[in-house]
């Protein structure tokens, strides 16, 4: 049985980046060596989730937060999905996720493609496009365990993107995210189970812990779902470090028993990526 052990680190950011680095290290080093193969952090962990403030704590590619993540992966000898941070590139700012291998080498980079611009009647109003620019790449990457896909939060609402990652070989889709108190209760578990079932993959979402003093309230509830749509692990809203064991053989078993991907009518419809950064 091919197993992948994922540690979801659902954390609450601190007042400064340096304090947050120290807090993440403390949580990461609370995990015994060898207990997990991949660590995963939440969306926008190194600053407040406020669109107007993204440019103020954005960093250039390979900046301090990138280096912190690279060093942490190397120290713990794990794959690390570094959640996401605000990345500055010239006069543009992106919501960017990096993945590192156990030697601390960057093996994937995804810029959030779909910007979270919503105005829900009686609920949340938020416009990322006020300060962020969208990425343009479908992101998949190889590991010693399997090929994985990577997207960020609102990206996951667009089923075409998950299918493109699966078409490129993904058996696990990683999603750093920060659903809020309107969208979280309504759609968080529903989306992770749906994408898992539709694409017959494991889906993994890691969110920030809920900070009652923040202007943007995270739903939390970091989650792992199986290719059959089962919830294998789900946190509550508080800080936590949870480890889920993924039986990767389950992907091929489900696809063989219910051959959705083979039975698509590609003579009638098809989906293809058209643009890369």
Residue 214's CATH number: 3.60.110.10
Annotation marks residue 153 as catalytic: yes
| Residue-number span of the structural domain to which 233 is assigned | 3-257
Selected catalytic residue, list 17, 76, 109, 112: 112
Of 142-146, 149-153, 180-184, 199-203, the poorest mean pLDDT is in 180-184
Selected catalytic residue, list 153, 171, 225, 237: 153
Write 227-235 long-range contacts (CB < 8 A, 24+). 227/196, 227/197, 227/199, 227/200, 227/201, 227/202, 227/251, 227/254, 227/255, 228/196, 228/197, 228/254, 229/193, 229/194, 229/196, 229/197, 231/189, 231/192, 231/193, 233/8, 234/189, 235/8, 235/10
Residue 276 is assigned to a structural domain of this protein: no
Residue 81 is assigned to a structural domain of this protein: yes
Residue 100 is assigned to a structural domain of this protein: yes
Number of domains in the chain: 1
pLDDT per residue as tens digits for the range 201-232: 999 999 999 999 898 899 999 999 999 999 99
Annotation marks residue 146 as catalytic: no
Residue 9 is assigned to a structural domain of this protein: yes
Stretch 132-157: mean pLDDT? 97
Among 43, 4, 68, which residue's Cα sits nearest to residue 220? 43
The C-alpha atoms of residue 163 and residue 24 are separated, in whole angstroms, by 32
- The structure tokens listed for 4 are 């992948």
Residue 269 is assigned to a structural domain of this protein: no
Selected catalytic residue, list 17, 43, 109, 151: 43
Q: Is residue 84 over pLDDT 90?
A: yes
Confidence band, pLDDT 50/70/90 cuts, at residue 276: low
Residue 271 is assigned to a structural domain of this protein: no
Residue 273 is assigned to a structural domain of this protein: no
pLDDT at 127: 83
pTM to 2 decimals?
Answer: 0.96
Annotation marks residue 19 as catalytic: no
What is each CA distance from 240 to 81, 160, 165, 213, in whole angstroms? 17, 31, 28, 18
Residue 171 is assigned to a structural domain of this protein: yes
């Amino acid at each position: 049985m091919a197993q992948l052990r994922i540690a979801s680190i659902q954390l609450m950011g601190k007042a400064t980046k340096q304090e947050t680095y120290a807090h993440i290290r403390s949580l990461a080093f609370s995990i015994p060596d060898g207990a997990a193969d991949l660590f995963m952090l939440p969306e926008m962990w190194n600053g407040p989730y406020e669109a107007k403030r993204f440019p103020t704590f954005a960093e250039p590619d390979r900046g301090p937060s990138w280096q912190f993540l690279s060093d942490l992966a190397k120290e713990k000898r794990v794959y690390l999905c570094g959640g996401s941070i605000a990345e500055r590139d010239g006069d543009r700012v992106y919501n960017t996720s990096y993945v590192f291998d156990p030697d601390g080498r960057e093996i994937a980079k995804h810029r959030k493609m779909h910007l979270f611009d919503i105005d829900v009647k009686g609920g949340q109003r938020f416009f990322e496009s006020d300060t962020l620019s969208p990425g343009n790449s479908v992101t998949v990457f190889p590991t010693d365990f399997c090929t994985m896909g990577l997207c960020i939060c609102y990206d996951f609402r667009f089923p075409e993107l998950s299918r493109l990652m699966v078409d490129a070989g993904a058996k696990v889709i990683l999603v750093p995210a920060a659903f809020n108190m309107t969208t979280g209760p309504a759609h968080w578990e529903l989306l992770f189970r749906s994408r898992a079932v539709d694409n017959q993959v494991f889906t993994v979402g890691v969110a920030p812990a809920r900070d009652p003093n923040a202007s943007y309230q995270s739903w939390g509830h970091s989650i792992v779902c199986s290719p059959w749509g089962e919830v294998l692990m789900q946190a509550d809203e508080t800080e936590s470090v949870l480890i889920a064991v993924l039986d990767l053989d389950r992907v091929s078993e489900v696809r063989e028993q219910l051959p959705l991907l083979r039975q698509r009518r590609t003579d009638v419809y098809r989906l293809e990526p058209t643009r890369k950064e």
